[in-house]
Structure 1
Amino acid sequence: MREFFYRPENAWVGDVIPYYEDGEFKLFYLHGWRENYRDDLDHGWHLVGTKDFVNYQAEGACKIEGGTGHILKVDGIYHMFYCIFPPGKQLVCHAISSDLKTWEPIPEDTFAADDRIYELSDWRDPFVFWNEEEGQYWMLLAAMAKGPTKRKGCTALLSSKDLKTWEYREPLYAPNLHVGAHECPDLFRIGDWWYLIYSSYTERFATFYRMSRSLIGPWLTPKEDTFDGRAFYAAKSASDGRGRYLFGWNPTKNDDLFGWNPPKSRGKDYNTWDWGGNLIVHEIVQRPDGTLGVKVPDTVDAAFSQPQPVHYQGITGNWLITDHTFSCMSPHAFAGCTSREELPDQCKISASVSFSEQTQGVGFMLRTEDTLDEAYYFTLEPQRNRLTFRGKIMQSEEGGKTFPYEVELERPIDLFPDRPYEIKVFMDGSICEIYVDANIAMSARMYDIPHGKLGLFVSQGYAEFSDVRIEGRG
């Protein structure tokens, strides 16, 4: 069965450079061949088109060898800005096209960092937009500012009137938070707020955002400043004029690209994350206070619309089970029930979940068996205001032999008793995408348990699951 979440044949999706025109998202991306690499293959930028994030049309290579960048159209001409990596430095390059397919590089427009303001070592991922207030173009870059410590990651700023000659300026945003550059910068406006997006693999590993009433700042950090967790990276956005969407990748754990896998690992779940994977699209939602959340795009949600016949059984605890509704009072213990049927390889699980004030945990067991241990646990933890993801090793004695962490993935979320939370989980082979309300997303991978049932559980409290559904591809 072909994967639902896009990746090219025999390869992987790296950083995405989205562009929207004529009813279609034109998604340029860095093509990751990995073990299928051959010198005669086309490398660098590739293009795939989609109108709905469900169906994709691969357009092939763009004959541009380089790293992440940006596309914009000016007076009928498309401009591509991208980066290259000669020994010892990084350079920004410029190419033009009349059709988004055949690109003509302009070698004389190539330039490096100004070493009076920025380090030469990091100068990549250009993003260009027209600044109406100044009447000129601005370029943002992943860079390292000059400074006394290694916490020099910043969003560099340049300006130009003609897209050819650029003036170096002080960084747009240089908070001294990250040892690494602010990768894949992106900027957009919704209403009265400007939003700056960047990704970082130091201090934390995520795609972040900042918000400001003005392009000159100050750039405010919201209470929760990321869109997803560790398994979603290098995200950039694009709008179709109605909504704004965030395009990133869910990394694999296949290839040990960085040589950090546990040497005696019994599977893949506890391997380290690779660079690149499958394309994941979140829809950005602006909250009343201006902060941002994400939800599943409506077209992706609607693609899973075929109800699956399911029957349930209580395993431990006193469950009240009716059509699509499950509840259990278990104030001092763990209680779980399961479906009798196995989950489809590709499916959506949805439910409305509420819990009592003292509840310690409530959630889904994915691909479980009736023993309730070999499973992937997705848990709302009200006492800690977080949602977590744990694999089967954490449910066994082997958990004490792994790296010293309590959970594999977690996301902060305000959790209140007696309030329903709308949960949607999308499973596609090893890929797992979890959404809570139109608010929080968490991407994950599930390798070592390929099949199993759906389980529902509550730990030390009361929980009610209503309108529980399993739906396959329509």
Structure 2
Amino acid sequence: MSEFFYRPDNAWVGDVIPYYEDGEFKLFYLHGWRGNYREGFVNGWYLLGTNDFCDYKEYGPCKIEGGTGHILKVDGLYHMFYCIFPKGKQLVSHATSHDLIHWKKDPDATFAADDNIYELSDWRDPFVFWNEDEQQYWMVLTARVKGATERKGCTGLLTSNDLKSWEYQEPLYAPNIHVGAHECPDLFQMGEWWYLIYSAYTDRFGTFYRMSKSPNGPWITPKEDTFDGRAFYAAKSVSDGEKRYLFGWNPTKNEDIFGWNSIKHLGKDYHTWDWGGNLIVHEILQRADGTLAVKVPDTVDQAFAIEKKLNFASVLGEWDIKNSERIYCESPYSFSSVLSNEDLPKQCKISMELSFTEETQGIGLLLRAQSSLVNTYIIRLEPKRNRITFRSDIMQSEEGGKTFPYEVELERPIDLIPTQPYEVKVFIDDTMCEIYVDQTIAMSVRMYDINEGKFGLFVSQGTALIKNTKIHTIDG
């Protein structure tokens, strides 16, 4: 079985630099061999092409050794802005191309941060666009502003009239929140709103966004300011003229490249996250109030088209089961569950519509479940806390309870209203799992230590109504 969510042979996808032209998404990305600690930078930029996020054409290496950046086209010539790291320094570089494959570097265009405004230690990930209002090019980039404390993470700003000479400006966004720099910035307009996207790994870990009526700010932080959870990072976006998509990576737990894993091996689900993984694409939606949401791209959703037979039997509690079209349970004082008769395919899509009553403490899905209901992965909606969580089997065991210093493994905030139906879609691809709820939020996870088991549903201290539960695969 080949992986559905793309990664190159014997390597991994790092930061993605998306560009769209002539019906094809041109996805430049940092190709992570993991042969050393340099996180793929030594091997530099590779290029993919796709028009559906399901099938990819590999164009191969671009012979650019460096970190994240941006592509734009001006007067028939492609410009690549990227970062390099000579002898520990961080510099912005420039190259040009006529075909997006062969690039000519401009050694005279390399420059560092301005020591009067910015720290020299962080200066990377340039994003360049033509600002129509200002009638000049803007470059926003990963930086740290000079300051009295270490909370210096910011989005730097430079301006130019010709893409060659750049003037240093005060930061576009410097909220004094993150110690680390704001990585992989992205700036775009949808309707009357401007959006600034960046990723950060201090204070919180994720890809964030801010919104403003002007590219000059002020930048508003929405109630929910991330697109996904901990297992989705360095995301940048591009539009095809109609829809806008967000490209990030779901990290692995294979290498321990940061040296955080415990000496006592308790399974990969205990391990820390690596740099790089598999390519993940979310479609960005704009709500009426200007805030953003994400959903699975239609082409990815439709790729899982073959419905599998699905039958359930009660394990705990009394359930009213009418095939998979309607499953109902009243369990006001306890945990109740059903399990499928068939094992869950290693590559599949699960979909359903679920609702719950006001007193309900938890409702959700069991993945690769065993009859003990302990060795299982759990996707749990918690109405009392307005969140969705993911737990592996270690959180159900005594060993996990003794060793984990926090309550859950992954979680995402979501408003959960009693009796309102919620559409849940879960995409499983071997160790990967992508969860979407109601075209509102996404949560990326990994599942390593349990390789097979049943599919289940549960309700904890409440009432559940689950409709149209289906499993689809790509192949028969």
Q: Could you say which TM-score interval applies, normalised by the shorter chain?
A: over 0.9
Q: Does 1:346 align with 2:347?
A: yes
Map 1:350-365; keep pairs closer than 5 Å. 350-365=351-366
Deviations 1:14-73, CA, capped at 9 Å, x for gaps: 0000000000000000000014999xx981000011000000011110000000000000
- Partners of 1:454 and 1:327 in 2: CA distance: 16
Partner of 1:431: 432
Paired AA for residue 236 in structure 2? K
Contact 1:72 1:80 in 2 (8 A): yes
Partner of 2:131: 131
Paired AA for residue 344 in structure 2? L
Once the two structures are TM-superposed, the CA of residue 87 in structure 1 deviates from its matched residue by 2.4
Paired AA for residue 25 in structure 2? F
Contact 2:186 2:198 in 1 (8 A): yes
Deviations 1:83-127, CA, capped at 9 Å, x for gaps: 011224210000000000000000001000000000000000000
> Aligned to 2:126, what secondary structure does the other structure show?
strand
Contact 2:380 2:390 in 1 (8 A): yes
Q: Normalising by structure 2, what TM-score? A: 0.98
> Aligned to 2:305, what secondary structure does the other structure show?
strand
Partner of 2:461: 460
Once the two structures are TM-superposed, the CA of residue 311 in structure 1 deviates from its matched residue by 1.4
Contact 1:268 1:447 in 2 (8 A): yes
> Aligned to 1:108, what secondary structure does the other structure show?
helix
Paired AA for residue 425 in structure 1? V
Going from structure 1 to structure 2, the CA distance change for 1:179 and 1:42 (only over 3 Å counts) comes to closer
Partner of 1:405: 406
- Partners of 1:72 and 1:302 in 2: CA distance: 31
Deviations 1:163-198, CA, capped at 9 Å, x for gaps: 000000000000000000000000111100000000
Partner of 1:181: 181
Once the two structures are TM-superposed, the CA of residue 263 in structure 1 deviates from its matched residue by 1.3
Paired AA for residue 412 in structure 1? P
Paired AA for residue 453 in structure 1? K
Once the two structures are TM-superposed, the CA of residue 215 in structure 1 deviates from its matched residue by 1.0
Partner of 1:245: 245
Contact 2:353 2:469 in 1 (8 A): yes
- Partners of 1:376 and 1:170 in 2: CA distance: 47
After alignment, is 261-270 or 193-202 more displaced? 261-270
Contact 1:42 1:61 in 2 (8 A): no
Partner of 1:141: 141
Paired AA for residue 162 in structure 1? D
Contact 1:10 1:36 in 2 (8 A): no
Partner of 2:23: 23
- Partners of 1:452 and 1:14 in 2: CA distance: 31
Contact 1:249 1:276 in 2 (8 A): yes
- Partners of 1:70 and 1:35 in 2: CA distance: 25
Deviations 1:249-278, CA, capped at 9 Å, x for gaps: 000000000010111122100100000000
- Partners of 2:228 and 2:166 in 1: CA distance: 34
> Aligned to 1:269, what secondary structure does the other structure show?
helix
Partner of 1:155: 155
Going from structure 1 to structure 2, the CA distance change for 1:42 and 1:213 (only over 3 Å counts) comes to closer
Q: Percent identity?
A: 70
Going from structure 1 to structure 2, the CA distance change for 1:253 and 1:35 (only over 3 Å counts) comes to same
Map 1:1-400; keep pairs closer than 5 Å. 1-35=1-35, 43-324=43-324, 325-400=326-401
Contact 2:15 2:29 in 1 (8 A): yes
Paired AA for residue 398 in structure 2? E
Contact 1:72 1:78 in 2 (8 A): yes
Contact 2:154 2:175 in 1 (8 A): yes
Once the two structures are TM-superposed, the CA of residue 369 in structure 1 deviates from its matched residue by 1.4
Once the two structures are TM-superposed, the CA of residue 358 in structure 1 deviates from its matched residue by 0.6
- Partners of 2:42 and 2:66 in 1: CA distance: 12
Going from structure 1 to structure 2, the CA distance change for 1:176 and 1:288 (only over 3 Å counts) comes to same
> Aligned to 1:262, what secondary structure does the other structure show?
coil
Once the two structures are TM-superposed, the CA of residue 299 in structure 1 deviates from its matched residue by 0.2
Contact 2:312 2:323 in 1 (8 A): no
Contact 1:284 1:295 in 2 (8 A): yes
Paired AA for residue 93 in structure 1? S
- Partners of 1:192 and 1:161 in 2: CA distance: 25
> Aligned to 2:395, what secondary structure does the other structure show?
helix
- Partners of 1:420 and 1:92 in 2: CA distance: 49
Once the two structures are TM-superposed, the CA of residue 223 in structure 1 deviates from its matched residue by 0.3
Paired AA for residue 96 in structure 1? T
Structure 1 unaligned regions, length at least 5: none
Q: Normalising by structure 1, what TM-score? A: 0.98
Contact 2:311 2:323 in 1 (8 A): no
> Aligned to 2:269, what secondary structure does the other structure show?
coil
Once the two structures are TM-superposed, the CA of residue 323 in structure 1 deviates from its matched residue by 2.3
Partner of 2:419: 418
Paired AA for residue 84 in structure 1? I
After alignment, is 93-102 or 363-372 more displaced? 363-372
Once the two structures are TM-superposed, the CA of residue 371 in structure 1 deviates from its matched residue by 1.6
Paired AA for residue 369 in structure 2? T
Deviations 1:290-320, CA, capped at 9 Å, x for gaps: 0000000000000011000111100000000
